[in-house]
Structure 1
Amino acid sequence: MNDQPNLRQFVDQISSFSEEETPSAPAAKPAQKLSPIGRVVEIAGSGSQVRLDGAALTATQANPDASVAMSGQVGSQVKMIVGANWLIANVRTMREGDEGEIVAQIDFLGEGTKDSSGRISNFRRGVTRYPIPGSEVHPVSTEDLRAVFAASDEPHIEIGTVYPTEDIRGALYVDPMLSKHFAILGSTGTGKSTSVALILHRISQLSPEGHIVMIDPHGEYSAAFKGCGEIFNADNLQLPYWLMNFEEHCEVLLTTDGAERQRDADILAKCLLAARMKGKAAETLGKVTVDSPIPYLLADLNTILVNEMGKLDRAGDTLPYQRLKTKLDELKSDPRYTFMFSGMLVSDSMGSFIAKLFRLPSHGKPISIVDVSGVPSEVTSVVVSVLARMVFDYAIWSRTEAQRPLLLVCEEAHRYVPKDENANGQAVRKILERIAKEGRKYGVSLGLITQRPSDLAEGVLSQCGTIISMRLNNDRDQACVRAAMPEGARGFLDAIPALRNRECIVCGEGVAIPIRVRFDDLEPEKRPASSDPSFARLWCETGDEAGIIQRTIKRWRGHGR
């Protein structure tokens, strides 16, 4: 009996030793305890008004956590407790209130569960319960933002770092972004081209068997995608003229306006249909229209024009035929149009053209860069129209086949979908507007890139479910983006004029909540040829001026536009 206390002490010692020495899973670290910085004073459907304590905000600025130090400032996030959830909101505006208080307008972004340690988990967009006036407003920590911006298991690409953190990654969800179109906006010199290349490279790495067609009006992107794409230009595009529909034929061949243009169009329609009917492919088809992509000979069209002209009695009636014949002869003889109107393009190459342009199959090179900088300016819009329409029509007519979604990326989009409804190039405008409205039904995604969103046709930008906006200096452009952005992202708009180069605001379907991101650096060999020249450095260089001029003139004369 006397041994029992000693035994009990021994067991206790063993237990305490085990507790001290045996390694165990670390307990969850409690969330950083942060004092409230304000309170809610007014509630509205999408946002509310809060009063922030100026002294508390000043105190948070000394916090080593960059996110806490930023809390309460315009464009930053704050949080409120609502039941068992944390409600996250973005600060839109701030103004001075009474007695050292600051009145701020906030936009609700989403909510997450408050776990046992006080952290946010299971964050989701949207709000189910609103706070009541008097609720405390708290700063948001980097750990909170890590939970908010954590990428889900859905296919996504990482494009940069979320501001103001150093290591939280900004993710774009590929399926929501592409299925509902996207736009990349930014003034000249903001790093827009490099950022576009970064996004397309990341998409190509995620989907090496994808199908992307990019219209490149300046020849910037050829250097960036040599390794993972096919490059097409005026030298190797080989775009058959007979792929044009009737409206595109009119834009190329008609030179008149008003009533005369309508008369010329009627004559062209009649002769073009007759030329298509003479083709071998027409014999196997039940119905042929003036729009049918059936090969025909330019010589046949020319002969039909001459024959129709010979049937007329008066010389004055032959003018429309002579105009069409003259224009046709010009196109056939001008070497600038060889890529489209060569007599070698009469064979039925539609299948091989679609295969190489749409990357079917991709063979690990999912992107086609179509450099139209060498295309004569008179037909550039028609070339873009044909390419865009081929994308859309292929998607429509392949619906009963295994689906191969296509992404069409259009740089300098304001050229092709201008606000001015009377501008030239109505065919390309119509097809791009149609893709913007209907493309998602058929598996066609549209990516619009522009430095002047205010010059885009109204409604096209609003069709883009994801907007990636870099710095915009023009007030009209900022107003245009403001109108297209969802209500909850309006607070980020104030930051758009203040963005640094290669920073952007992303909102819409492609992100969980609106974010400000600094793009990753892109490897030099993957960058487009769009960097600004250094005048100060290059003006110090001399030598071989005569050779430079001679070679330049030779290229100029050989490929003049």
Structure 2
Amino acid sequence: MNGFLNRMSYSAPRRHEDGVLTDREALGSIGADEQNRRDVLTPGNRFLGRVVACDGYHAVIAAQAPNGETTLTELWSVGRLVSISVGQNRVVALVASMQSATKAWDERDANLFHIDVELMGEVHAEPDGREVFSAGITRYPYIGAIAHRIRHADLRRIYDGNAGDSCAIGELTQDETIEATIHVPSMLSKHFAVLGSTGVGKSSAISLLLRKAVEADPKLRVLILDPHNEFAAAFPDMAVTVDPDTLELPFWLMRLDEFAEVIFRGRPAIPEEYDVLRETIPEAKRAFRGGMEGGLLRRQIDRAGLTADTPVPYRMTDLLAQIDERIGRLEGRAEKPALRTLKSRLLAALDDPRYRFMFTTGAVDDSFQEILAKIFRLPGEGRPITAFQLAGIPGEVVNAVASVLCRMAFDIGLWSEGAAHILVLCEEAHRYVPADAALGFLPTRQAIARIAKEGRKYGVSLGIVTQRPSELDPTILSQCSTVFAMRLSNLRDQEIIRSAIPTASSSTTTFLSAIGNGEAIAFGEAVPVPMRMRFTRLPQNRLPRPHQHAEEGWVGTSKPLDLGVIVARMRAVSGPDISAFQQRYEATERQQATAPGILDHIEGQTEAYEPYAPAMLPGMPQSPSDNLFANPQLDRFNSLRRQILSGDIDGEPQRDAGLRRPPGGFSRKP
């Protein structure tokens, strides 16, 4: 073996018995200058070594470094592409690993080493004489085939963006003079993911990809779920910003499970209260419909049945009135505690200033069309991107908001019949679709999964951004046909990438932990072969950054610190404007309070009983001696009511309208 390796650099190739062209004859079809550069079998020239082993997807190349020099070994580095001559074709291979044959290095003599390469494809000539690259291999390397440095022209052929919808997003790490291009329609139609640790440049890469996507598809509308409020600065000329102060997402747009997520503050819903909402919300919607004098909305509602999930307006006053009506019924005493608790939850949500985006003065207007036009930029009016800032929205509501947005994005693509192209970009996607099915919010997971599985049919695309691929639902990641893997130091995250990348390029994941900031391994439908590339650096004024940060960063900012403003924002003193609701609800309460009732029989009664008094709950003692929380007024009322109904006191009971005080007063029978 050593003798063969020592002679192979100086002996000329020979013709095989089966008529296959020798290496010299195979190289004779190219120009003289090109042939001179790569046909001279001299170490350090284009000749690198010969194939000594090969199988279906990788090969081993033996090479020699004469006189202890490292000039030749510098040409072999992990991640570089090389060529192997096979007849008139040139097989393209990726260097996966290399090692010295003797596990040592001689400073004065020749050193032998072996290089493991993965076969990527081949460059071959078309019938018209053009040379093109294809991912398939028609003729595999034979033992002794020459391996050489890849031509600059072949690199261009491999990564050539000759398709009309391809665009450059950076340059190759191996040759910075060659642009790294992607096919935008393939990236969007089959979804994409950007994966990388914190600080490696994911946000900058996303900003660049979105700009290229919008330029390639003018019909595209982009919705960014931005949990860090940083993308608005990256698109000052292309995006509108939706934050908690400008957001209008009425409560009636939510489905029942989404509305329950808000009311129960992210905790599991109480079954009894959930069932009440399921029954009373349709009634509130019918009450709102009854208040409309005809119109398109009423005709549409009449044609379709109303459920708790139907996205039509209703008033919170009507919903609370339905609950109050159930509380006032004589039957169903067992469900009254649940009804009162549910009513308290609804009132607490109304009073919470963080929920102002749901309960505004115009929340009961039929503004569905205006909301869709604003959030999804239909029409875009020159700004096709919406940066949806989620940082100021309560954590227990974020999942419900994300569910509503993703669900509406899919519905727009479905019912527009291809007229709208929408891209939903989920930053920190592992929050919404975690790998653990017990975590997260099920409707959000279902909405995103529906886009991932069916969105391509209706022009709805999904972009996934995360720093922890191992914590992301593998089903969602498997639907992303184009992946940009940036630096990942976690071994579990690297395993996820290794399982997603094609087998013929799996070695590219071995240096994921060592690539620099702004670099990525791109593979999938949008690129012809996996490539190591560096994203183009955006100008400073187009880089994502939180809006609080000055352009010069943390250091050097001159903005004064005002603790009063900080405290005011933390307390959210500017609560939601629910004055109109309060006026309607108080009027209803006064009307009910002035109605004749059984409490009129109690002389001197001026205060209403406490609705949450423990004595009113089922199973609680009614005697003051048995109850530490006794209510004397309530005891007096119960005793008087029992006497009247039993006939011990003169007077005719009137169960429906309430008992009236007789002209002669109350008197006991003899």
Q: Above 0.5 in TM-score? A: yes
Larger deviation, residues 236-245 vs 382-391: 236-245
User: 2:205 maps to what in 1?
Assistant: 195
Q: Deviations over 1:59-85 (max 9, x none)?
A: 7846xxxxxx86432111121223322
* Structure 1 residue 174, shift from structure 2 partner: 0.4
Contact preservation (8 Å) 1:414, 1:452: yes
For residues 509 and 193 of structure 2, what CA distance do their matches in structure 1 show? 16
CA gap 1:299/1:506 in 2 versus in 1, 3 angstroms: same
- Is 1:550 the counterpart of 2:564 in the alignment? yes
Which residue identity lines up with residue 177 of structure 2 in the other structure?
A: D
- Is 1:276 the counterpart of 2:294 in the alignment? no
Relative to the length of structure 1, the TM-score reads: 0.85
Larger deviation, residues 403-412 vs 485-494: 485-494
Q: Deviations over 1:329-355 (max 9, x none)?
A: 112121211112224121111112112
Out of 436, 442, 452, the residue aligned to residue 452 of structure 2 is 436
CA gap 1:96/1:264 in 2 versus in 1, 3 angstroms: farther
Equivalent pairs counted in the alignment come to 520
For residues 67 and 288 of structure 2, what CA distance do their matches in structure 1 show? 77
CA gap 1:542/1:459 in 2 versus in 1, 3 angstroms: closer
Unaligned runs of 5+ in 2: 1-30, 39-44, 104-110, 290-296, 576-670
Seq. identity, %: 35
User: 2:119 maps to what in 1?
Assistant: 108
Larger deviation, residues 317-326 vs 466-475: 317-326
User: 2:619 maps to what in 1?
Assistant: none
Out of 30, 37, 51, the residue aligned to residue 34 of structure 2 is 30
For residues 249 and 554 of structure 2, what CA distance do their matches in structure 1 show? 39
Contact preservation (8 Å) 1:228, 1:364: yes
* Structure 1 residue 312, shift from structure 2 partner: 5.7
Relative to the length of structure 2, the TM-score reads: 0.72
For residues 370 and 245 of structure 1, what CA distance do their matches in structure 2 show? 20
* Structure 1 residue 319, shift from structure 2 partner: 2.4
Contact preservation (8 Å) 1:161, 1:167: yes
* Structure 1 residue 463, shift from structure 2 partner: 1.1
* Structure 1 residue 299, shift from structure 2 partner: 1.5
CA gap 1:151/1:450 in 2 versus in 1, 3 angstroms: same
For residues 506 and 361 of structure 1, what CA distance do their matches in structure 2 show? 33
* Structure 1 residue 57, shift from structure 2 partner: 12
CA gap 1:530/1:219 in 2 versus in 1, 3 angstroms: closer
Alignment of 1:308-347 (within 5 A): 308-311=326-329, 313=331, 315-347=333-365
Out of 131, 150, 162, the residue aligned to residue 160 of structure 2 is 150
| 3-state SS in 1 of match to 2:270 | helix
- Is 1:95 the counterpart of 2:71 in the alignment? no
- Is 1:232 the counterpart of 2:248 in the alignment? no
* Structure 1 residue 532, shift from structure 2 partner: 13
* Structure 1 residue 58, shift from structure 2 partner: 8.3
Hey, which of these two has a bigger chunk of helix by percent? 1
For residues 523 and 574 of structure 2, what CA distance do their matches in structure 1 show? 43
For residues 57 and 190 of structure 1, what CA distance do their matches in structure 2 show? 41
For residues 519 and 130 of structure 2, what CA distance do their matches in structure 1 show? 27
Out of 403, 428, 432, the residue aligned to residue 419 of structure 2 is 403
User: 1:16 maps to what in 2?
Assistant: none
Out of 264, 272, 279, the residue aligned to residue 263 of structure 1 is 272
Q: Deviations over 1:166-213 (max 9, x none)?
A: 211111110011111000011111111111112112222333442111
User: 1:223 maps to what in 2?
Assistant: 233
User: 2:510 maps to what in 1?
Assistant: 494
User: 1:245 maps to what in 2?
Assistant: 255
* Structure 1 residue 127, shift from structure 2 partner: 2.4
Which residue identity lines up with residue 510 of structure 2 in the other structure?
A: D
* Structure 1 residue 267, shift from structure 2 partner: 2.0
Contact preservation (8 Å) 2:353, 2:572: no
Alignment of 1:154-553 (within 5 A): 154-254=164-264, 261-280=270-289, 281=297, 283-285=299-301, 286-288=303-305, 289-311=307-329, 313=331, 315-399=333-417, 402-529=418-545, 547-553=561-567
Which residue identity lines up with residue 167 of structure 1 in the other structure?
A: T
CA gap 1:137/1:559 in 2 versus in 1, 3 angstroms: farther
| 3-state SS in 1 of match to 2:452 | helix
For residues 284 and 242 of structure 1, what CA distance do their matches in structure 2 show? 16
CA gap 1:548/1:432 in 2 versus in 1, 3 angstroms: same
CA gap 1:326/1:137 in 2 versus in 1, 3 angstroms: same
CA gap 1:251/1:557 in 2 versus in 1, 3 angstroms: closer
Q: Deviations over 1:346-398 (max 9, x none)?
A: 11111121122222222222111111111111101111110011001121222
* Structure 1 residue 560, shift from structure 2 partner: 9.9
- Is 1:40 the counterpart of 2:56 in the alignment? no
Contact preservation (8 Å) 1:180, 1:466: yes
Q: Deviations over 1:420-451 (max 9, x none)?
A: 21124221112112211221122111000011
CA gap 1:506/1:252 in 2 versus in 1, 3 angstroms: same
Larger deviation, residues 263-272 vs 509-518: 263-272
Contact preservation (8 Å) 2:224, 2:386: yes
Larger deviation, residues 132-141 vs 191-200: 132-141
Which residue identity lines up with residue 267 of structure 1 in the other structure?
A: V
CA gap 1:54/1:420 in 2 versus in 1, 3 angstroms: same
Contact preservation (8 Å) 2:242, 2:387: yes
| Larger Rg computed on CA atoms | 2
CA gap 1:511/1:430 in 2 versus in 1, 3 angstroms: same
- Of structures 1 and 2, the one scoring higher in RCO (CA 8 A, sep 6+) is 1
Which residue identity lines up with residue 552 of structure 1 in the other structure?
A: I
Alignment of 1:11-30 (within 5 A): 30=34
* Structure 1 residue 458, shift from structure 2 partner: 2.1
CA gap 1:544/1:263 in 2 versus in 1, 3 angstroms: closer
* Structure 1 residue 138, shift from structure 2 partner: 1.9
| 3-state SS in 2 of match to 1:150 | coil
Contact preservation (8 Å) 1:465, 1:509: yes
Contact preservation (8 Å) 2:100, 2:114: yes
CA gap 1:126/1:434 in 2 versus in 1, 3 angstroms: same
CA gap 1:544/1:362 in 2 versus in 1, 3 angstroms: closer
CA gap 1:460/1:538 in 2 versus in 1, 3 angstroms: closer
For residues 328 and 115 of structure 1, what CA distance do their matches in structure 2 show? 71
| 3-state SS in 1 of match to 2:274 | helix
CA gap 1:405/1:482 in 2 versus in 1, 3 angstroms: same
Cα-Cα RMSD: 3.1
For residues 462 and 55 of structure 1, what CA distance do their matches in structure 2 show? 43
* Structure 1 residue 550, shift from structure 2 partner: 3.4
User: 2:88 maps to what in 1?
Assistant: 84
Which residue identity lines up with residue 76 of structure 1 in the other structure?
A: R
* Structure 1 residue 290, shift from structure 2 partner: 2.4
